[in-house]
Each structure stands twice: as structure tokens, then as C-alpha cells.
Structure 1
Amino acid sequence: MENQPKLNNNKEIIAFLAERFPQCFTTKGKAFPLKIRIFQDLVARIEELNNVSKTKLRAALRRYTSSWRYLYEIKIGIERVDLEGNPCGKLEQQHVDHAKKQLEEAKAHLQLKKAEQQIKKPKPAAPNAKIPTQQQPKHSPLPDSAHQIVKPIPASSTPSTTMPELKIGQTIKVKAGQKAMNGTVLEFVKNGIRVQLSSGLAMIVRAEHLQL
């Protein structure tokens, strides 16, 4: 046991836990809701192996319990399990609500990230297009001021469409893919606009992702 290699990342630690406690941890398929304060049980059981630090074990547990696969299994009335797979308390509504909020925030963040990546993709050059010899001037970033105002143009707008100026505290919609989520303008920063979604998640988005 003393010569076992150190486990240094979440994937290795979770795989180790699934092998050592298969009735509690899994690496694919259905995940079981874990017993409350299972971290203390793990420390007591694997301390003699000396190949997993407490800090990395805690981080791996946090990663495991925040995965979509795990959060989808948090349902009212489902039993939590201990390291041997024994039931040790049913999930309550507050646990289900918390898991639902985590899922909503994770999905919203992923949708916005995909939308940002789509915007950054370079457009193919037109056939026989001339390459400019001089570099085009860059647009100045938004000033870092809560009093700055912008006029975002949503994807559905036409050139003749005008929109009211945005202000701090204004209710808007944040477009992520094909969906639009309710949000509130918090402040204007250099690389975009900080908004807070109705789920409570705050993030920075570009003006073209906002709609009234």
C-alpha cells in the first residue's frame, strides 16, 4: 500500500473511489446521492493509503456532486447512500431545489459560452476578396463605468430598428442559443455588460446577446 502512486486530479480520484466503493461512487451511468458529511467517512477509511490528500479529495467530491449526471439524480424521496451503499436518509425538497438551481446555472453558462464561441468564429472570406493592406482600427472597449449606456442590437432586429438605452437595474433578456432568459443589468465593464439572471447567476455578456 505504501508504494501506491499519488492521485493528483479529480478524474483519478473519482475512478479510485468508484473502484474502492462501487456501491457508493460510479464513473458512468446512474449516480447515487451521497450521505451527508461523507467526506469524514472517506478520510477515516482511506487515510491509511496515504495517496490522496484531503484537499484534493474534497475538490474531487465537489466536482462529483456538481456534475450534471449527479444532479439529475437528486429527486424528492430518493435515498442517500453511505460508502457501502446502505440507505441513510431521504432527499428533501430543499436538496432538490438546490440541485435544480445548480443545473440551471450550469446550462445557462454553457449556452452563453457556446454563443460567445460562435460569434468569435472567423467568417469565410468571399471569393477573390482583396486583403486590406492596412489594419482596420479597433473599436474602443466599453468604459468601466456604471453610468455608461449602450444600444444593443438583437439578432432579430433590422437596420431601422431602434432600441432604448440600457441603464443599471433595467430588466432585459439574455439570448443564449435559441432561448432567452430574464435578467437585470448590474454594471457596464470593459469587456461587456454584467447581468444577473433570474436564477441568481451573474455573468458578463456582450451587447448583442441582450434583448428588451
Structure 2
Amino acid sequence: MTTPTEQHVKATSVKDVLAYLSSQFPACFSLTGEAKPLKIGIFQDLAQRLEQDTTVSKTQLRQALRVYTSSWRYLEATKVGVARVDLDGVTGVVIDEAQAEHALKTLEESKARAAEKRKAKIAEAKAKNPQPTAVDKPGYKKTANKKPAGSSKGTKVNQKPVKPEAEQQAKPAVQLQPVAAEHVVVGGKVLLKLGQSPMLATVLEVSKDDVTVQLGSGMVIKTRQDSLYLA
């Protein structure tokens, strides 16, 4: 009678069963590397060898063998001319063409199913976390260039140029009065006569008879004091 310490721990998953079979029958089963095609009827041999072993049940053995023989590693090893092995690694009959073709077809179908599952998982992940698209970005509309009302191609529209507000306010009085020298100070307002229309300006600098002024449009002009008038 075996003691508790001599008893094997009962396998609880297919992975545990395969690991146990690999440790008990290393010449037949393997977890890595190239697999060996199994002898037909290997289940009966396993059931007989492990009849008194409580580590695995017959149901677990069937499940483990189904998983092992449907793995890509096992199917890739099932080729024409390769000999099958028993539990002790002794070679027996070789795989024929029909068996090899069946293994290849099973392998291709298995890989196709795996690829479809990967695609489905990727699609599901994208659905849960959609990436922002161009629609989500704020749009910027360009303002259309509006044509003046009443205008058409080939028709000229007489429009007076709009003067800056400061220049509009600089309409001359009935009679311009020259500005006295003592009133020409930095920051002071004066009228500068350019052409026919005097314009309002601000004195920036005074240097004897030369005065630098800035128009309402921002233009800076250097002129003589006698060209300035009272604002």
C-alpha cells in the first residue's frame, strides 16, 4: 500500500495530464520539439498501464489524447513514411499517404479557424475602442468671397475707397490755420496737408523745423513745421 507521500497529485487539467504522460512515457510523448506520431490504439495501452494510477482518469486520457493529436506540432509531424511509436518509443507501422493527407487537411483547417478567431478579436477590440476619425475633428469653413451687390462680370462698379476713421475725421475746416511752434509738441494733434486733403496726425518727434508725425493709418512721415495746421 502506498503512503500519501508516494501518491501522485491528481491531474486537474489537460495540460497537467499531458505533462504527466510526458514524464511517464518520454519516448512517446513530448511537450516541445518535434512530436512523434502515436501508435493506433495507444489509448488502450495507456489505460492498461495506468489502471492502478489515480493521477488521471480514462476520461482525462481521452481528452488529453484528442488535444495532443490535434495540435499543430503533432499534425506537422504526421508525414508519409514516418513510423508510429508505442509507449516505450518502439517504432511500428509507417504513415501512409491517406493518413498524411488527412493530417495536412486538418492542420490547414485548424490554422484557418485560428486566423478567423484572431480577426474577430481584433474587430471586437476596435469596436470597443474606436479610433477618432476625421469627422470627429472640428471643421473650419472658409468664408466665401462675396461680390458687391448689383455687380456682374464685365460691369464696373464705382466705389469710393474707404478712408481710415482717423483720416475721415481729418476733414479740413473752411479755412486751415497754421499751427504755432509752441503748439507743436510730442503727442500733440495736428493736421498735415498732403495733396488736397489735410489729414489728422500725432506728433512723434520735433527737431527744429523738422517734425515727425504719425497718421491715423500708422504711416510715419517726416515733414516741415510750416506744413502743419491746427487740428
Alignment match, 1:16: 20
Find the residue that maps to 2:22 and give its secondary structure.
helix
- Give the superposition deviation at 1:38: 0.3
1:93 positional shift: 1.1
Please show how residues 8-47 of structure 1 align to structure 2 within 5 Å: 8-47=12-51
- For structure 2, the residue ranges without an aligned partner over 5 or more in a row are 138-231
SS of equivalent to 2:77: coil
Name the SS for the 1:47 alignment partner: coil
Scaled by the length of structure 1, the TM-score of the pair is 0.58
Q: Which residue of 1 aligns with 2:107?
A: 103
Match of 1:73 in 2: 77
Following TM superposition, by how much is the alpha carbon of 1:127 offset from its aligned partner in structure 2, in angstroms? 9.1
**1:47-86 CA deviation, whole Å, 9 max, x = no partner?**
1112211011100000000000100000000000001100
The letter of the residue matching 2:123 is I
Aligned partners of 1:16, 1:32: CA distance in 2, in Å? 17
Q: Pick the aligned partner of 2:68 from 61, 64, 68.
A: 64
Aligned letter for 2:114?
Answer: L
Secondary structure at 1:61's aligned position in 2?
Answer: helix
Please provide the CA RMSD for this pair. 1.9
Residue range with higher mean Cα deviation, 107-116 or 30-39: 107-116
Give the equivalent residue in structure 2 for 1:124: 131
1:52 paired with 2:59, answer no
Higher RCO, Cα 8 Å, sep 6+: 1
What does the per-residue CA deviation read over 1:98-152, in whole Å, with 9 as the maximum and x for residues that have no partner?
111111111111111122222221322359949xxxxxxxxxxxxxxxxxxxxxx
Larger radius of gyration, structure 1 or 2?
Answer: 2
Counterpart amino acid of residue 9 in structure 2: P
Alignment match of 1:90 (pick from 91, 94, 97): 94
- Between the two proteins, what is the percent identity of the paired residues? 43
Letter of the 1:23 counterpart: A
1:129-148 residue pairs with structure 2 within 5 A? 129=136
Flag structure 1 segments of 5+ consecutive residues without an equivalent. Answer: 131-212
CA distance in 2, matches of 1:109, 1:9: 23
Corresponding residue of 2:9: 5
* Corresponding position of 2:176: none
